[in-house]
Amino acid sequence: QVRLVQSGGGLVQAGGSLRLSCVVSGPNFRIHPLAWYRQVPGTQRELVAEITAAGYTNYADFVKGRFTISRDNVYNRVYLQMNGLKPDDTAVYYCKITWKSNDYWGQGTQVTVSS
């Protein structure tokens, strides 16, 4: 059984920083790609950042230079360090692992950036 449990998030002023964490249990963590998505009510969930098993990363243009995705293959965690936060970054953030061609999601974490 695959389980993803998120922590972090909350309320921060514009320009501030937050760190999201996601611990994954179930699959052989180190060989699977991971990602962070976000969703604003009434809109589609969108990719924020992704990281391959080898550690290669890819970022959405709107977070490049501000957010950093990383993974810890010892403790089965994926992180999203968010710096220079803007009000437009306000959303629910989700971690995701792809395993056997299926996507599994965390429970979601609210990030609110005040202006």
Q: DSSP strand E in the chain: where?
A: 3-7, 10-13, 18-25, 34-39, 46-51, 57-59, 67-72, 77-82, 91-99, 102-105, 109-114
Tokens standing for residue 28: 């052989």
Q: What is the mean pLDDT of the chain?
A: 95
Q: How crowded is the C-beta side of 100, counted as CA atoms within 13 Å?
A: 5
pLDDT score of 110: 98
The 10s digit of each residue's pLDDT in 16-65 is 999 999 999 987 888 899 999 999 999 999 999 999 999 999 999 999 99
Give the whole-angstrom CA distance, residue 38 versus residue 60.
11
- Count CB atoms within 10 A of the CB of residue 71: 22
Report the share of the chain in percent with pLDDT over 90.
90
